[in-house]
Chain A
Amino acid sequence: MKKFIVKSTLRAILLLAFLYVSSKDSYACDTCTGHSPGDTWCDSGILYSCNTCSPEACIGSPPSRCYVDPSQVQSNWEDCDFTCPADAVGKYTKIEGTCSCTPTAPSIPDLQVPDDNAVSGPDYDVSTSGYQVFLDWAPLAYWGNNCFPGGSQNHYYELYVGTSPIGLVNGLPLARLHKTNNGSQFSDFTGIPGTTYYWTVVADNGAFESAPAPVRSFIVNTAPLATFVSPSIGNQPPYNVTSIVAGVPTTFSVTASDTTNNLTSTRILARKFRQQGSNWVWDMPNWLVLGETNACAGGSCSLSANWSPNANESGNWWIVTQVTDTADVALSPYGKCSGDPGDANIISPLDYPDSPFTTWSNCGNQSRVRVFVASQVTVRGYLWNSTNRQCSVNPANYALNATSINESNIFVRISNVPEVPWQPNATGYNYLIQNVTHNPASPTKVISTSNFTPRNLPNFRYQLTCAWGNNASVTGTSVRFDTTSTSVNTVHLGYKLVSTGWFTSVNGNVYGGYTDGSNITPSVEVGIPLAADIPLFNGYLIEGAKVVIGNESLSVKNPLGNTRYSSSGKAIKLLHANDTWPQSYDFIPPSNAVSLSFDDCAAAMYGDYTLHTDKVYLVTTQCLLSGFNTSAGDYVVDSVNGGRIAVMYVRPAGANVLRFNRDIKSSNNNRILFVSQAPVEIVRNIGVAAPSLSTPPNLEVSIISKGGIRFIGTTDSLNSPDTSLVIEGPLVTGGASNATIHFDRDRGTNNGHPAEVVVYNPDYLYYLTKQERDSTRPNYTGLSVAKINWEYLE
């Protein structure tokens, strides 16, 4: 009951309150029910405004609310009692007031493609022929608040691209490349291959820009390159490899490279072509893959492929390289390369429409080679003796055999083919070389042999003079010929016996004094060429009806074995004389000899000091050499009492050798006779090219030497042959054991000319005798002798 009373009481209170309020509203038109004039408020979704109310202004029946001025209701206002959303505070205006609106920035964009540090650029835009790099970022999740009605209309992405990162390189900002409110990608960027670009995206909501996305970089892809490292090719077109041989493996090796370090594969391809009329056309429908690797990575990749073409594959081939990298896209040439067809110097096959190069970039000039696959033939023939024979004779009748030569073997070689020993006992040939390539485009081969010398003819050598074969000709020590397609090519090589260099005496006797008692070792040994090979002499040791004398045997023969002493053929052998050298010839100058000063001695050699025939002089090797080196002037010998010979004793001092290194000429008909204790040498650089019987001597002197005389000769007669030296005689050695005269000059292939010509000058005999007999001094030259007989009478 009590509860009931309480509840009833509370209800009554509430009812009274309600009634109070209700009576108040109905009345509060003037008071705006507690609102002050000017206030607006919502009540149950209705907008109220408390104006300066007057009763008549009250509306409603009963008038309960103030008048609401419709002009106060903005069309875009939210509904009465609109609650400003938490995430867009201030964005809205509502009737009862304005949301509190503070603009906010968009979130930071998220870059998607390409990856940071990526190699990019696979897209190929034919219209621009450049790299199209696709840039993509994620649609922005939060644009912030620009406090603009309909604010999304001001949402933009700004794309920045440059070659330097922001703030990293000289503080330069990236340049804004693009601004869009349409999508989150950009596909029109054209980069330079190999260049590193930095990029970022900024979101802009019209009020604020976002912070830039973390800067990424990418490298615009470069196409690979390739170079053949084997076989070797030149740096310039046409990049031919001479030939490879069918059946013989050939290694083709290439090295691919890519500056963007993203190689993926390398291939070596081959394709045969042929000439058709004036054009070249492919001779096979497809490219033959010689080698391939898909294991390439990074910036370098090597590939080797062995190719052993079949015999039926002989002909012209192009060998090319193809390389791809990670940017390989079907229609783009920038991620792959191939042998370059674009060189104007390259023949047309690579311009053929079927070539694989139309969508490939150029791997470089070294990325392809043109080869000829040659077939192999056998070359055989005779090495034969063509001495004194026409080259047209049947070589089989004059084939060299084992007894023809000193050597145990002869090796025959053709360029690029291993040499083989000859086969002197074979039938139909005496050499045979197999597996010789035949290349119709370059059929010329060079065949040669190892050195071999004739047996028992020490002063001769074999000189290649005849060549028989297809377009065969002799070139030095080898034969050039053209191979033919026949399986066996025949080439004969004819060798003529020629002198190794010979000397001749003009109008003077010759004496060789060597004695070893063997009756075998020749005292005079010289090989005289065949007369037909000698242009200006008659082919004798002695020109003139003189005599040759040997203390032992003589070997003065032409290659046919005929002796060639002189036109009279007179010779004396096995003389075995032991005492032909006068005891008084001891090379000690006579007491009356005038010792010349160094300067006078030197000057005498070029005419600045005059010698006289009634005097004998003593000089040194050193001062003579100084004179030879100072001037090439002629020496002067003045005649006294009709004499014409000045005698000059030479002793070694300062130089061990009396070396004549230039022409020594007399200014008149008078002469010098050198009596030298020192060995004598005549250097190579004096001489004439084509001496004759009347050629003036290079050395207008006579020499008597104790230590021997040597005509220095070449060590390479083929490439550096000597000239001919003409000197006056008597040319004498003696007074010591084994005092020899070595005629070492060699005219090489011009050995038809004598290498040394000794012209006997009888003036030395006549005038020295006369001078001795006219002199008031007994034996003033030290060179005369007399026959003295003693008789004792009892």
Chain B
Amino acid sequence: MKKESGQTLLMVVVIMVIVLTIGIALSWRVLSNLSRTSSTDTSARVRAVAEGGAENFLNKSLSELQQAAVLCDGNYNSGVPVECQIDFPAQQGTDPIASYAVVTVVPYGAGTNALPISSSASEVVEVNLTGYNGNFIVVCWNENTVLKYTEYSDTDVKTDVRKCRNCNLALQLENIPEAQPGSAYGQSARQCVRVNNVAGNLQGLRLTSLGGTSNFTIVPRNGSLPIQGYKITSVGQLDDETAFQPIKQTVVVSKSLPYLPLMFDFSIYSDTGVLD
């Protein structure tokens, strides 16, 4: 009988150890989650701050962005100019902690380098050609899509269409030639189109991907592309000097120069109806 009583005690001790172990583990897990939640919430807040800073600059006109590109060039060694910092003051009762975003505006796309630009299906994107002095432009892409391109100046406009090489398409084409192979222009892309400059003061090359999304590469030839837009880098953070390692979030937004949508490429355009 004594032997049996000792076994029972052992079993109680073992059970208690197991229960305690489980309880400690659960407590540790809860404490860990609490810490992680606090960190994530702060990150979301600073991301929102960064987005707010970027959107503030997205709403500026082109001329304002041009000015911002001078003031907010990111060279902030002597301090961030007030024009380049967007403050989000604390909100009494709802958000006791102030925040701010530091914004940098840099033009992009200018130069002799190839310019990547993407177009979703039936979306027109525009390459700024104002002042372009090259001989022509090569547009390359790899997707199974059709490229409609329109180059225009103050006196002329030219539209043409090329389809992908050796590809099958859901849409039907009539008399649409294939694009040239990329190798014809020294490009590794599957297909390319040469766009000869139209007469007059060039202003833009409008690209529309038909049948799917296309990632185009714009290759200037013997000339430099002008500025295509502005890259807005916004870094959001909390206004908390006591923080040992402040949490920052960075958002980079590129905004092209303004241009007109697809229907301006057409003399007759019905979005949803027939022409009859």
A229 and B175 CA atoms in complex are apart in Å by 72
Contact B258 A573 (CB under 8 A): no
Interface hub of B54, B203, B259, B273 (most chain A Cβ within 10 A): B273
Whether A762 contacts B276 in the complex (CB less than 8 A), given A509-B159, A573-B174, A768-B260, comes out as: no
A547 and B251 CA atoms in complex are apart in Å by 40
Chain A interface main SS type: mixed
- Among A64-79, those with CB < 8 Å from B are none
A638 within 8 A of B: no
Report chain A residues within 8 Å CB of B161: 547, 570, 572
Determine how close the nearest CB of chain B comes to the CB of A704; give it in whole angstroms: 7
Whether A526 contacts B170 in the complex (CB less than 8 A), given A508-B266, A729-B267, A769-B259, comes out as: no
A790 and B174 CA atoms in complex are apart in Å by 37
Report chain A residues within 8 Å CB of B154: 766-767
Report chain B residues within 8 Å CB of A708: 273
Which of A506, A547, A766, A788 is close to B58, meaning CB atoms less than 8 Å apart? A788
Determine how close the nearest CB of chain B comes to the CB of A119; give it in whole angstroms: 79
B114-151 CB mask vs A (1 if < 8 Å, else 0) is 00010001110110000000000000000000101000
Report chain B residues within 8 Å CB of A563: 174
A731 and B121 CA atoms in complex are apart in Å by 22
Whether A775 contacts B171 in the complex (CB less than 8 A), given A511-B263, A585-B261, comes out as: no
A734 within 8 A of B: yes
Which residue of chain A has the shortest Cβ distance to B256 in the bound complex?
Answer: A787
Report chain B residues within 8 Å CB of A162: none
B236-271 CB mask vs A (1 if < 8 Å, else 0) is 000000000000011111111111111111111111
A792 within 8 A of B: yes
- Among A224-258, those with CB < 8 Å from B are none
Determine how close the nearest CB of chain B comes to the CB of A294; give it in whole angstroms: 73
Interface hub of B47, B125, B254, B267 (most chain A Cβ within 10 A): B267
Contact A787 B255 (CB under 8 A): yes
Which residue of chain B has the shortest Cβ distance to A775 in the bound complex?
Answer: B61
A56 within 8 A of B: no
A511 and B266 CA atoms in complex are apart in Å by 7
A381 within 8 A of B: no
Contact A511 B250 (CB under 8 A): no
Number of interface residues of B (CB under 8 A): 65
Contact B171 A514 (CB under 8 A): no
Determine how close the nearest CB of chain B comes to the CB of A621; give it in whole angstroms: 20
Which residue of chain A has the shortest Cβ distance to B253 in the bound complex?
Answer: A790
Contact B117 A568 (CB under 8 A): no
Report chain A residues within 8 Å CB of B61: 775-778
Which of A511, A545, A735, A784 is close to B258, meaning CB atoms less than 8 Å apart? A784
Contact A526 B276 (CB under 8 A): yes
Contact A577 B121 (CB under 8 A): yes
- Among B158-193, those with CB < 8 Å from A are 159-161, 170-176
Report chain A residues within 8 Å CB of B229: 786-787
Report chain B residues within 8 Å CB of A734: 263, 269-272
B40-79 CB mask vs A (1 if < 8 Å, else 0) is 0000000100000010001111111000000000000000
Report chain B residues within 8 Å CB of A786: 229, 255-259
Contact A769 B260 (CB under 8 A): yes
Contact A729 B253 (CB under 8 A): no
B9 within 8 A of A: no
Report chain A residues within 8 Å CB of B148: 547, 549, 572
B82 within 8 A of A: no
A570-606 CB mask vs B (1 if < 8 Å, else 0) is 1111111101111001000000000000000000000
A772 and B62 CA atoms in complex are apart in Å by 8
Which of A704, A738, A793 is close to B272, meaning CB atoms less than 8 Å apart? A738
A397 and B64 CA atoms in complex are apart in Å by 75
Report chain B residues within 8 Å CB of A579: 122
Contact A740 B261 (CB under 8 A): no
Report chain A residues within 8 Å CB of B273: 512-514, 708, 733, 738-741
Report chain B residues within 8 Å CB of A176: none
Report chain B residues within 8 Å CB of A521: 274
- Among A508-562, those with CB < 8 Å from B are 508-515, 521-526, 545-547, 549
Contact A785 B276 (CB under 8 A): no
Determine how close the nearest CB of chain A comes to the CB of B193; give it in whole angstroms: 14
A742 within 8 A of B: yes
A709 and B35 CA atoms in complex are apart in Å by 62
B204 within 8 A of A: yes
B80 within 8 A of A: no
Which of B171, B174, B262, B270 is close to A565, meaning CB atoms less than 8 Å apart? B174
Which residue of chain A has the shortest Cβ distance to B257 in the bound complex?
Answer: A773
B195 within 8 A of A: no
Contact A789 B253 (CB under 8 A): yes
Whether A508 contacts B267 in the complex (CB less than 8 A), given A572-B161, A777-B61, A778-B61, comes out as: yes
Report chain A residues within 8 Å CB of B266: 508-511, 729-730, 732, 760
B152 within 8 A of A: yes
Interface hub of A522, A549, A736 (most chain B Cβ within 10 A): A549
A162 and B262 CA atoms in complex are apart in Å by 105
A783 and B259 CA atoms in complex are apart in Å by 9
Report chain A residues within 8 Å CB of B249: 792-793
Determine how close the nearest CB of chain B comes to the CB of A581; give it in whole angstroms: 5
Contact A507 B276 (CB under 8 A): no
B275 within 8 A of A: yes
Which residue of chain B has the shortest Cβ distance to A515 in the bound complex?
Answer: B272
Determine how close the nearest CB of chain A comes to the CB of B108; give it in whole angstroms: 10
Contact B174 A524 (CB under 8 A): no
Which residue of chain A has the shortest Cβ distance to B146 in the bound complex?
Answer: A572
Contact A732 B263 (CB under 8 A): yes
Contact B258 A736 (CB under 8 A): no
Contact A762 B275 (CB under 8 A): no
Some 14 contacts from A to B, beta carbons below 8 A apart, are A509-B265, A512-B273, A514-B273, A524-B275, A547-B160, A575-B210, A579-B122, A582-B261, A774-B63, A775-B63, A778-B61, A786-B259, A787-B126, A792-B249
Nearest 3 pairs of A and B residues by beta carbon:
A508-B267, A734-B271, A740-B273
